[in-house]
Structure 1
Amino acid sequence: MPRPSLNDLTAFVAVATHRSFRRAADEIGTAPSTLSHAMRALEERMGVRLLNRTTRSVSPTEAGFQLLARLRPALASLDEALDSVADFRGNVAGTVRINAPRLAAGLLVREVLPRVAERHPDVTVDVVVEGRLIDIVSSGFDAGVRLIGSVPRDMVAVPFARALTFVCVASPAYLDRFGEPGTPEDLQRHHCIGHRMPSGKLYRWEFERAGQELVIDANGPVVLDDEELMVEAAIEGLGIAYVADWAAETALLDGRLRKVLTAWMPGPEEIAVYYPGHRAVPPALRAFLDVVKNLRKTEP
């Protein structure tokens, strides 16, 4: 039997992992139809069906699952072998795929990516904005960003320089008209800008003071799923918003927003870049992580 090419085996792993010709084709950089023809040719060459296909889905057969289980570690070892000589080239090159929520993606663009571009011009950082918590390994990402307390135990976490703190904010015009809430319970008499989570549920506002914890169902005329839009809505006087301080920072500094209920806000939470701890770190990812670590060292 003719031995399959490395390209064909890599393509099979992509299709079997994503269970989608379209997503696998996007990862590899080819057309879905080309990839489908390549998989049929691979099956004919090997004399066994590897994929079950319908008009709506694709999934590995029993033989396909067995081949996938063997190929994944073999291809990972090959990547590690190739990466091991990267330092001898004199410069770091490659692509780092990062999965991050929108707010953290904005922090990456402002504070991390400019330094990566300056120090490592041959490194490409591919950031995918995703609000849901996903499995970065099965989804093909090198690293992800989330609250450090929710990082899986088998991952390595590198904290950002800046922790995440939530604030309640409103415009001066809104507060002049409706007054300032003194306690979280007062929010029942205010217009609150709702935050719809990626799951579809509305976020319940969390407060804490002297060991007392409160959770409030915030009601109001506007519900949004993006914190930057929530800040804009608060600036326009539509109500009180509960957002991360990063999102409201500029509007607070220039006076378009004011904080309320400051004594009731929870303490800061660390945000971390995380990556698999059971495999060798590719040079491009290592360069990216070094920038994140150095930012933490230089933060006053």
Structure 2
Amino acid sequence: MKQNFTVRQGALDGVEAFLSVARHRSFRKAAAELGVTPSAISQAVRTLEARVGTALFIRTTRSVGLSEAGERFLSRAKPAFEELVAASEVARDLGQRPAGLLRLTVPRAVVPILLEPLIATFCQAYPEIEVEIAASAELVDLAAGGFDAGVRLGQFIAADMVAVRLSPPFPFVVVSSPEYLRRRGTPERIDDLRQHACLRMRRSNGSIAPWSFVNGNKPIEAMVSGPLIAHDFPTILAAAAEGMGLAQVPGPIAAGLVEAGKLVRVLEPFAPTGPGVFLYYPSRHQTMPKLRAFIDHVKGRAGAANKTRSRMDDKRTRGTKMR
């Protein structure tokens, strides 16, 4: 039968006073060390002795010594109390400066695109922080999983989370290899997907995600079929590049393969725009310095990127006017 063990309220009361008296063999010196009156120290020790159920000190008018029970109590209480003090100092240290282990849960697809540049510069800036990245497509409970923060597409982040933007909004594009399109033809309308092999994604809740489109201002969900179901975008993207079929993926992760000519975008007029990728975490009030440092680093990088884009836009605008 399972038993419930609890620490009695006030079980540690008087222990610090006892240890100080035991160290100095004096109630007066213990009081001076702890910054209280001798009578307060005496009362704390008497309360502890009453709770323990035996005398811990042998007192005379000239000296203070430990009883046998006091000696045994000291041998167990001293190292335990020192461990408690050390634990408090370690926790306080982590609460006052950026240090320790920062655990992030992220989708595998965003690691090379967004996180690798961020992590490299962050680790250089904060050498006392270790970063652990758990790459998974599943929507993880941060608290239950022991994570400080997560990275997800904006539409999958719960409303009670604090979110920091990592990317601008981007389209979800349908891509295919040129070889597949030569064999099967290029779809021109959403309905054409009925005749095509479509590579699909299984969500963390077990359902297969429909493909999303827009036709004018009207959102459309299409149930498609094909030879492959995967649990992450990189697997689907690689299969599309091998000519297995069409894939719908976030635009940024397909950009490199599109530029290299290994993939081609199709159905572009119907591509929906997602909110982008965000860093998210539970509460501003619970933010440790290590996470705050990472958030500030993310915002700093985003600000620098926005300034760079703005300068490039200005140059393009001036060049257009000159022409």
TM-score tier (shorter): 0.5 to 0.7
Instruction: Determine the structure 1 residue equivalent to 2:93.
Output: 82
5+ unaligned residues in a row in structure 2: which ranges?
1-6, 13-87, 310-323
Once the two structures are superposed, residues 156-179 of structure 1 have per-residue CA deviations (whole angstroms, 9 ceiling, x without a partner) of: 211103434311001111112221
Q: Does 1:273 align with 2:279?
A: yes
Letter in 2 for 1:196: R
Contact conserved, 2:175 with 2:263, CA < 8 A, in 1?
A: yes
Q: Alignment partner for residue 216 of structure 2, among 210, 220, 239?
A: 210
Which one of 118, 137, 144 corresponds to residue 138 of structure 1? 144
Residue among 224, 227, 230 paired with 1:224: 230
Q: 2:261 aligns with which of 248, 251, 255?
A: 255
Deviations 1:208-249 (A, max 9, x none): 021122211111122222211211111111111111123212
Output the amino acid matched with 1:255: G
Paired residue for 1:178? Answer: 184
- Describe the SS at the equivalent of 1:96: strand
TM-score of the superposed pair, with normalisation by structure 1: 0.67
Residue 134 of structure 1 deviates from its aligned partner by 2.9
Pick the structure with greater CA Rg: 2
Deviation at 1:98, TM superposition (A): 0.9
Asked whether 1:236 is paired with 2:242, we answer yes
C-alpha change, 1:151 and 1:227, in structure 2 (3 Å) is closer
Q: Is the 8 A contact 1:161 1:295 kept in 2?
A: no
Match of 2:123 in 1: 117
Separation in structure 2 between the aligned mates of residue 120 and residue 252 of structure 1, nearest angstrom:
36
CA distance in 2, matches of 1:150, 1:198: 11
| Partner secondary structure for residue 138 of structure 1 | helix
Partner amino acid, structure 2, of 1:279 = H
* Corresponding residue SS for 2:258: helix
Equivalent residue for 1:12? Answer: none
Change (3 A) 1:149 1:265: same
Which residue identity does 1:156 align to in structure 2? V
Q: Structure 1 residues 275 and 251 mapped into 2: Cα distance closer, same or farther (>3 Å)?
A: same
Report the 3-state secondary structure (helix = DSSP H, G, I; strand = E; otherwise coil) of the residue aligned with 2:137: coil
Query: Following TM superposition, by how much is the alpha carbon of 1:126 offset from its aligned partner in structure 2, in angstroms?
Result: 1.0
Task: Give distance in 2, aligned partners of 1:157 and 1:99.
Answer: 14
- Evaluate the alpha carbon distance shift between residue 233 and residue 261 of structure 1 in structure 2; reply closer, same or farther with a 3 A threshold: same
* SS in structure 1 of the partner of residue 274 of structure 2: coil
CA RMSD of aligned residues (A): 2.6
Contact 1:204–1:217, Cα closer than 8 Å, also in 2: yes
